[in-house]
Amino acid sequence: MTSMESFQSRFVEEATDNINDLENALLLLEEDPGNKELVERVFRAMHSLKGGGAMFGFDTLSDFTHHMESVYDLVREDKLQVTKDLLNVTLDSVDLMKKLLINDENGPDEASGEYRALVSRIEGFLKGAEVNAGQGPASAGTTGIAEPEKQGVSTYFIHFVPDKDIMKNGTNPLYLIDELSTLGKTQVIANTCNVPDIKEFDTSKCYISWEIFLSTSEDVNAISDVFMFVEDDCMLDIHKLSASDLLNDDRFTREIEGYRLIESEIGINSIKDFVDSLKEEDQARQSQSSKKKVTNGRDNAISSIRVSSDKIDQLMNLVSELVITQASLSLYTENSDNSELQPIAESVQKLTRQLRDNAFSISLIPLESMMTRFQRLVRDLSDELGKDIRFSAKGTETELDKTIIESLTDPLLHIFRNAIDHGIEPPEERIKKGKPGSGEIVLKAFYSGANVVIQVSDDGAGIDPARIREKAVEKQLITPDAVLNSKELLNLLFLPGFSTAKNVTDVSGRGVGMDVVKRKISSIRGEVDIESSPGEGTVITIKLPLTLSIIDGLLVRIGDSQYVIPLSVVDKIFAVEHETLAGAYNNLVVLDGEQVPFYYLREEFGLAGDPPATEEIVVVEYENVRIGLATDSVVGEYQAVLKPLGKFYKEQEIISGATILGDGSIALVLDTNKIINQFSNNNKIKEELS
């Protein structure tokens, strides 16, 4: 690798970080368009992308980013406002930047349609801003559009109740309101509840009163000046609501919109209360973000370093080696009479354990790193499908092994797509059902013992068990008269080729669905569970091991070999006479007064030798079914460092790996799910399971 190439690859790494940061900031900006700090962050990320790109030969990227940067320069100078449109274009641009970064040579270039389309959209914004700037503040004011640079803008609430006879002296109240709107941005709500029945209606009288929200840089006097000539003929209330532009605040406008719909008087008190609650919310957020800043600052002080993942893998391998070597040292010490060796071996054991925990924590990364992608997915898809969906995440500081995170992204994206496409209903339908118009998807992550649990829940339509049944019968997965409870019906979703979507859409429902999710999750030794109540929503729970490379296992002996069964699946251990097992009918044995199907591993593995008189059955849980695995004896608990068996044994799925014991011999780690699956292929138990 030449030095230029190595610089380039470092730039790509850095730029990827920058682009991710950019995307993240943009999504935050969408929620809080007025946040100057975020605009700065966006601008900075773009700036470093542009500079680095030019320096390392990513000219297309650099040129492109330059266009974007100019737009955000205007935003920074308040010449352009952050709108949904602008964010859409910017996010699309971020996608293009990603592509430009991956392959500057063969990817999209200046000539490609995508590039040109985006550049022209960006230029549209630039031109728009120029026109605005050219008009100047005065003219912008007269058009009723709030000029970008306004200082000391306040929001007023004006309650205007003209006398019924106001029109008699030639005054048209509408002109007053028109005049009012020249002062700034207005929201006018006409109250018509006093309009009488048509029979009593007198066309010369004015029955309407108005409630007007005005955001302006003028003071109260200017507003009352408007009403100067009608002061005596009306009831006028002017209140200053806030020293900020509330009409720019989505939450506020939404609230007003709500009042408009119910057609009743707002009243100054209720609106004041609402404004106060808004202020409180803002304050809370501000203190939160300042808290964030403090923690960020501390992070900076600690200063993290960038280490290639190869090096971490290497470290993990070495630590694993050390754990094994330490185990053999302990074993040797136990069997020797050397009293001086004992304390040394013990402290080696202690240090090794600390080192191991430390090294593992290095390779853990927080779930936070995936959230931007989900947020983006929710945003883009719900836009596309015309749904209103909010996404929130809790416990994203939960950490997982990086290899798990990598293999988790796709299944989670799939679950999200399902929730957005099938789960959450369109707004009209939701309102009809009495739910809030905007749906909600919540991701929750937390530790539970040696596991990490990730829950994705939505408050959508849920899954109708009857539909699953219908579909399963149609696909001949079950017989029409099969008796299944709702839990079992939901589990049918995990069978290959099952998709309940009525139509095949672009988003999900191509028939590859939850079975792929399940397969991927179990490939990282995780479990998926689905719960749903029709009409209320769906919860998908994923349970994952903390790390892939070390498992707590139960060491068992069969013949000359030792095997490890993951402790997480072990339910109970029973001692059973060999005769009982040998004479067992249909491979069923009664344990704890319960019939348990079992597999005689010695036979299934084709091992030679005579079984002992008393054998031990390890009962494991498999999809809520208990199954026994008969072994010669249980040796004990063992912390197994998982080693792959490699390509040559890729066909032997029942073995998930091997581990090296203290005496240097090898124990194979059994994948109990696969064993049961494989052994029961032509077995009665399969029928019981399905």
Near other proteins by CB under 8 A: residue from 624, 648, 681, 682: 648
Cβ(570)–Cβ(619) under 8 Å?
A: yes
Q: Which of 617, 147, 549, 58 is nearest to 321 (CA)?
A: 549
Q: Report which residue type is found at 511.
A: G
Residues 6+ apart with CB under 8 A from 152: 217, 243
The one segment of 255-263, 504-512, 536-544, 656-664 that binds other proteins by CB under 8 A: 656-664
Q: How many residues bind other proteins (CB under 8 A)?
A: 28
Tell which positions 425-484 bind other proteins, by CB under 8 A.
none
The edge-to-edge listing of strands for the beta sheet with 570-577 is 570-577, 614-622, 625-631, 594-600, 588-591
What are the backbone angles phi and psi of residue 669, rounded to the nearest 5°?
-95, 125
Is residue 646 involved in binding other proteins (CB under 8 A)? yes
386 burial level (CB within 10 Å; 0-12, 13-18, 19+): exposed
The least distance separating other proteins from the CB of residue 607, rounded to whole angstroms, comes to 7
Residue whose CB is less far from other proteins, 617 or 667 = 667
By three-state DSSP, how is residue 197 classified? Answer: coil
Residue whose CB is less far from other proteins, 359 or 658 = 658
Return d(Cα 266, Cα 188) in angstroms, integer: 12
The least distance separating other proteins from the CB of residue 318, rounded to whole angstroms, comes to 10
How many Å is the Cα radius of gyration of the chain? 34
Near other proteins by CB under 8 A: residue from 28, 230, 477, 607: 607
Tell which positions 208-247 bind other proteins, by CB under 8 A.
none
Tell which positions 262-321 bind other proteins, by CB under 8 A.
320-321
Is residue 682 involved in binding other proteins (CB under 8 A)? no
Place of tokens 């498999």: 622
Per the structure block, which two tokens stand in for 209?
């009163």
Tell which positions 370-399 bind other proteins, by CB under 8 A.
none
Is residue 665 involved in binding other proteins (CB under 8 A)? yes
Is residue 585 involved in binding other proteins (CB under 8 A)? no
Measure the CA angle with vertex 402, ends 400 and 405; round to 5°.
70
Near other proteins by CB under 8 A: residue from 195, 307, 504, 666: 666
DSSP for residue 664 = S
Per the structure block, which two tokens stand in for 578?
């060999």
Residue whose CB is less far from other proteins, 518 or 602 = 602
Residue whose CB is less far from other proteins, 330 or 409 = 330
Near other proteins by CB under 8 A: residue from 330, 655, 677, 689: 655
Return d(Cα 530, Cα 293) in angstroms, integer: 38
Near other proteins by CB under 8 A: residue from 493, 658, 676, 685: 658
Per the structure block, which two tokens stand in for 352?
């090794």
Residue whose CB is less far from other proteins, 590 or 666 = 666
Is residue 606 involved in binding other proteins (CB under 8 A)? yes
Cβ(399)–Cβ(405) under 8 Å?
A: no
Residue whose CB is less far from other proteins, 100 or 324 = 324
The one segment of 32-40, 293-301, 490-498, 647-655 that binds other proteins by CB under 8 A: 647-655
The least distance separating other proteins from the CB of residue 652, rounded to whole angstroms, comes to 5
The one segment of 124-132, 208-216, 453-461, 641-649 that binds other proteins by CB under 8 A: 641-649
Is residue 325 involved in binding other proteins (CB under 8 A)? yes
Tell which positions 545-584 bind other proteins, by CB under 8 A.
561
The least distance separating other proteins from the CB of residue 561, rounded to whole angstroms, comes to 6
Is residue 677 involved in binding other proteins (CB under 8 A)? no
The one segment of 24-32, 140-148, 232-240, 637-645 that binds other proteins by CB under 8 A: 637-645
Return d(Cα 215, Cα 410) in angstroms, integer: 47
The one segment of 100-108, 241-249, 430-438, 652-660 that binds other proteins by CB under 8 A: 652-660
Secondary structure of 124-162 as H, E, C letters: HHHHHHHHHHHHHHHHHHHCCCCCCCCCCCEEEEEEEEE
1 burial level (CB within 10 Å; 0-12, 13-18, 19+): exposed
Measure the CA angle with vertex 434, ends 429 and 436; round to 5°.
80
Binding residues for other proteins, per CB under 8 A? 320-321, 324-325, 561, 604-607, 643-649, 651-652, 654-655, 657-658, 660, 664-668
